[in-house]
A and B are shown apart, each in its own frame.
Chain A
Amino acid sequence: MAKKKILVADDDAGIVDAMQILLEDEGYEVIVTMNGENIFTMYEQNPDLVFLDIWMSGVNGSTVCRKLKDSNTTRDIPVILFSANRDTEQIALKCGADGFLSKPFEISKLLDTVKKYIGGPDENI
């Protein structure tokens, strides 16, 4: 059975790289983009979960989040808004995101969040 696929969208190379290593170490498949406009084409690869930064260069993450949650094809894929903004939770609530994660984060918190929405890398929930 295919592994769970997580899409990470963030404009910071360090964060994207670290997230990829972290999540791959846990056994998930990770696809990444550093360009907010790419996100809709990335959806063609059918991710199971999306981490979306609020402040992406050129694109407002909460607008992207809103679009994803308004469209029939993308609505059902959980979106976790993550940002260094203290008001991440409120922004996430407003744009219809499924969850939020404040930067910087503890690895345990990240993995808890992932498990909450899609379970382990091979689990079917």
Chain B
Amino acid sequence: MSKEIQRTETKSPAVESARARQTFHPATDIVETPESLFVYADMPGVDEKSLDVTVDRNVLTIFGGVAEEAPKQQSLTYAEYNVGDYERVFTLPDEIGRERIEATLKDGVLRLMLPKSGPAKTRKIAVRAS
């Protein structure tokens, strides 16, 4: 199943953001349990209002907008990290129940609970000999 969770390519120009802003891939842990999948993504600076988690068919998209807090009467004099939005897309395996996904955000970490609903039934088609 691990091979089914793949990061889809977001570097292609087709999915470039309209805003001239940097977008980062949040560092993500994915843990599998017998019942569900847990996704943990580091998104410092993101709050509940600017967070957007969508599931379209089997594509999970995580987006977090960051509004930079500039201290008053101070200017940025030394920078090691850049401020920008977070976006990452995952392809989910078919056995994830898309309706019961839970998302929580605490201290800049997004936690997603994706319950498994059992593997999708494959239908076997019998071929009749003519």
Q: Do A and B come from one complex?
A: no
